[in-house]
Amino acid sequence: MTGKVYLFATKSSHWMKHETKTLLILSPGFPKDEDDTTCLPAHQIFVRALNKNFPSLNIIVLSFQYPFSKSVYRWYGNTVVPFNGMKKGIIGRLFLWRDLWSILHQLKKENDIIGLLSFWINECAFIGKYFGKWNNLRHFGWVTGQDAKRGNKYISLFRPQPHELIAMSDFLSKEFYKNYAVKPLHTIPNGIEPSLFPVPGAERDITILGVGSLIPLKQYEVFIDVIKEIIGEIPVTNAMLCGKGPEEIQLQKLIEQYRLQDNIKLAGEKSHTETLRLMQRTKVFLHTSNYEGFSTVCLEALYAGCHVISFIKPMQHDIDHWHIVETRPEMIKKAIAILKSPGTQYTAELPYSMDDSARAVMQLFDYKEAATS
Res 2 pLDDT > 60:
no
Q: Are residues 181 and 270 in the same domain?
A: no
Determine the Cα–Cα distance for residues 69 and 82; give it in Å rounded to an integer.
6
Residues 200-249 have pLDDT tens digits of: 777 999 999 999 999 999 999 999 999 999 999 999 999 999 999 999 99
Residues 28-77 have pLDDT tens digits of: 999 999 999 889 999 999 999 999 999 999 999 999 999 999 999 999 99
Q: Are residues 280 and 336 in the same domain?
A: yes
Residues 137-187 have pLDDT tens digits of: 999 999 999 999 999 999 999 999 999 999 999 999 999 999 999 999 999
Residue whose C-alpha is closest to residue 279's, from 249, 244, 306: 306
Task: Give the pLDDT score at 193.
Answer: 95
Q: Which residues are CB-contacts of 254 (< 8 A; sequence separation ≥ 6)?
A: 221, 224
- CATH classification of the domain holding 277: 3.40.50.2000
Q: Are residues 50 and 62 in the same domain?
A: yes
Q: Are residues 185 and 202 in the same domain?
A: no
The residue-averaged pLDDT of 271-287 equals 95
124, part of any domain: yes
Q: Are residues 175 and 292 in the same domain?
A: no
Q: Tell me if 83 sits within 8 A of 62, measured CB to CB.
A: yes
**Percentage of residues of the chain with pLDDT beyond 70:** 94
End-to-end CA distance of the chain: 40
Task: Give the pLDDT score at 369.
Answer: 76
Task: Give the pLDDT score at 19.
Answer: 66
Q: Are residues 238 and 178 in the same domain?
A: no
- How remote is the C-alpha of 280 from its chain's centroid? 20
Task: Give the pLDDT score at 370.
Answer: 56
Average pLDDT, the chain: 92
349, part of any domain: no
Instruction: Give every strand in the sheet of 282-287, ordered side by side.
Output: 264-268, 239-242, 206-211, 282-287, 307-310, 322-324
Q: Are residues 182 and 319 in the same domain?
A: no
Q: Are residues 153 and 199 in the same domain?
A: no
345, part of any domain: no
Q: Are residues 232 and 103 in the same domain?
A: no
Count the domains in the chain.
2
Beta-carbon neighbour count of residue 13 at 10 Å?
A: 8
Range of the structural domain that residue 23 is part of: 3-191+354-364
172, part of any domain: yes
Q: Are residues 296 and 155 in the same domain?
A: no
If phi > 0 it is left, if psi is from -120 to 50 it is alpha, else beta; for residue 349 that is beta
56, part of any domain: yes
Task: Give the pLDDT score at 92.
Answer: 87
**Percentage of residues of the chain with pLDDT beyond 90:** 88
Q: 86 falls in which pLDDT band (50, 70, 90)?
A: confident
Res 7 pLDDT > 60:
no
Q: 255 falls in which pLDDT band (50, 70, 90)?
A: very high
217, part of any domain: yes
Task: Give the pLDDT score at 6.
Answer: 38
372, part of any domain: no
**Which secondary structure element, helix H or strand E, spans residue 337, and what is its range?**
helix 328-340
pTM passes above 0.95: no
Residues 294-344 have pLDDT tens digits of: 999 999 999 999 999 999 999 999 999 999 999 999 999 999 999 999 999
Q: 352 falls in which pLDDT band (50, 70, 90)?
A: very high
Q: Are residues 220 and 171 in the same domain?
A: no
Q: Are residues 279 and 334 in the same domain?
A: yes
312, part of any domain: yes
Q: What is the DSSP string of 210-244?
A: EES--SGGG-HHHHHHHHHHHHHH-SS--EEEE--
Q: 373 falls in which pLDDT band (50, 70, 90)?
A: very low
Task: Give the pLDDT score at 199.
Answer: 85
Q: 256 falls in which pLDDT band (50, 70, 90)?
A: very high
